[in-house]
A and B are shown apart, each in its own frame.
Chain A
Amino acid sequence: MRAMVYRGPYKIRVEEKDIPRIEHPNDAIVRVTRAAICGSDLHLYHGMMPDTRVGMTFGHEFIGVVHEVGPSVENLKPGDRVMVPFNIYCGTCYFCAKGLYSNCHNVNPNATAVGGIYGYSHTCGGYDGGQAEFVRVPLADVGPSIIPEWLHEDDALLMTDALSTGYFGAQLGDIVEGDTVVVLGAGPVGLFAARSSWLMGAGRVIVVDHLDYRLEKAREFAFAETISFTEVDDIVVELKKQTFGLGADVVIDAVGAEADGNLLQHISAAKLKLQGGSPVALNWAIDGVRKGGTVSVIGAYGPLFSAVKFGDAMNKGLTLRMNQAPVKRQWPRLLEHIAAGRISPRDIITHRIPLEHIAEGYHLFSAKLDNCIKTVITTGE
């Protein structure tokens, strides 16, 4: 089969790999029909996630058709069209039993601090991802769901991570009616978090980024006010000005490890890999939120330490909430929102690129060319 393969920082290619085989009785093999490049894939692509091995196939946002199932699979059969959450999880461990699917303890031998994620380094379990023609889907009775007939495949694809994570991030904010919500980052997850904040009853939604075309999308798609942090002297002061000197009720960090806005922080984290991530957005969140407010973190950070302004967080009495999204928990309600026309996820897709040209897709997304927001990878279905 053809598959995207990592060759080192900023280097990927498509090559022939063996079609994955059933390795566990509850495995399924899925023929991928559509995949996406996620902003967090760029952390791998840039060499930021420890134990990213040459030869790995990335891709944790994908949908497809069941090709083969293991002997203990009961809920799926070959031919089923499925969407697969980016979390790999068992459904019964101490954490899964509490609904913390992204924190499963039974699927990642390499680390206890994170669960299993498709195509996201050995730190997340050493599983190949879906930017390929086929992918192994472990514990197939738990993760994948059959795609409803009425659901557009692009919407199904975006439910596997970006939409679910953005929606989850708004929930982490514990938004109450009339709250002012600031979303840092106008990438796909930030756009969905902003749009979801309205569902929770926000009174104002302000999106911060430095890319003009993404801020335009935030105004159009998420009905948000926008601020370019490059056009103000100090974004925290600007956020205070916007909120009567108090700060926002809720700030959502939808940026994560490669945040811009402070050159030293960015270089030490993203280039020299001396931090788990550039904490610029997180520090802006801590300083930009009001006392007693809530910071929601859905941007991805690496496992190394980061220079976070924890003293300010303590002195302001903040609530810091974060996690990888337990994706499948979001699906029933998100399907209701899509069916009711409250959100059209596929409106954020800007590019479609064949798997054979995926290296160009990564470069396009990484360099933010051609007003790129979300890239879908097609596999010649």
Chain B
Amino acid sequence: MTLDILFNVLLLAASIYCFIYIGGADNSTATELGAAFWPRLILGIMIVLLAIGLVNMIRKKDSKVPVDGAAVAAFFKSKLLIGMIICAMAAVILPYIGFIPTSFLFLIAFGVLLGERRPLILVLTGIVATLILYIIFQGPLSIFLPRGYGFFRNFALAMEGFLSLIPGL
């Protein structure tokens, strides 16, 4: 089994499921196309194309990404997975701890992942870049960045208070 085939099979299964699922929302009349018409048309074509693609892949057996034990083990040790986890974590914690702490932690964590080892540079980058982004967007552009809850909310409100003291912001 290759990653290509695996992805294709998953897409095909999901498409078939969605095709059947949306059938329940069909409210077509003689003069009106229902809510299910367009999605079913798209999914129908997609199912045919995915099936053709799958047959081609199995016939040719030329997929470049074989999934064996070693490849799976290498993926779990890779920087890519850690990068994905850091991104996912940032998205998850953003509403809870707010923009400033998320940005600061993310910049440090991803900086380390990308090979920056100097702690002073990491911390300075985290603080300076976060403040620049915060001031630009929260200030002149009036985009209310996430505040978080509890302590983090109070912290964000205090920062907004400081920002309002700067003339022109």
Partners in one complex: no
Residues of A near any B CB (own CB < 8 A): none
